[in-house]
Amino acid sequence: MKKRKKSQTKNQQLTHRQEIFVALLPKHNWIIYKAGIAAGFTHYYAKNRLPAIVCSNVVLREAVAGKKAEIAKEAKIEAKDILDAFLDLAQRCKEKHPAVAVRCLENIAKHVGFYAEDNLQKQDGIPGLTREEWEQLEQVEERVRTLSERIDWEQIVKGPDG
């Protein structure tokens, strides 16, 4: 009978190939299979084993999370900036490209939780949801209402001539 390897602990380090893999992930749009192939893993290993290893290996998982945080910090990306860009794009596109404007507004609405109540209605209850979690959902609904009141949705969707 083969002995199973113990899962890596935090004091262990990444192998050289794992370091290369983590460095290549952003270049390959965070697709584990493609980055694994580029890092030198076999096709079989990259497709069948590597995704599970990224999830189960604490050191590798933290390295991937650290790489994502590093990239976000370098780019200085914040949710507010993205929402502002979507709103600006929606306003610029509302006349010539209304479908683009609507899609931008949908993305904003998803981010602020505009569809949260609708999504909850589609579920047959949420098992294990505590009273505190329900209160948090109600607070999100209130924030969505407040944000939606500040945006003239009809004017954006219809355009200035509508």
- The 3-state secondary structure of 111-138, one letter per residue: HHCCCHHHHHHHCCCCCCCCHHHHHHHH
pLDDT at 3: 56
Q: Residue 95 to residues 92, 107, 149, 160: CA-CA distances in angstroms? A: 7, 19, 22, 7
Question: For 78-94, what is each residue's pLDDT tens digit?
Answer: 767 777 877 888 888 87
Kindly list the averaged pLDDT for each block of 10 residues, start to end, along the chain of length 162. Answer: 53 88 92 94 93 90 89 73 78 81 78 64 52 74 75 65 61
**pTM for this one?**
0.47
**Measuring CA to CA, which residue among 148, 79, 142 is closest to residue 156?**
148
| Tokens 């602990």 sit on residue | 9
List the domains of the chain with CATH numbers: 16-75 (1.10.10), 79-158 (no CATH)
pLDDT at 124: 46
| Tokens 């505590």 sit on residue | 130
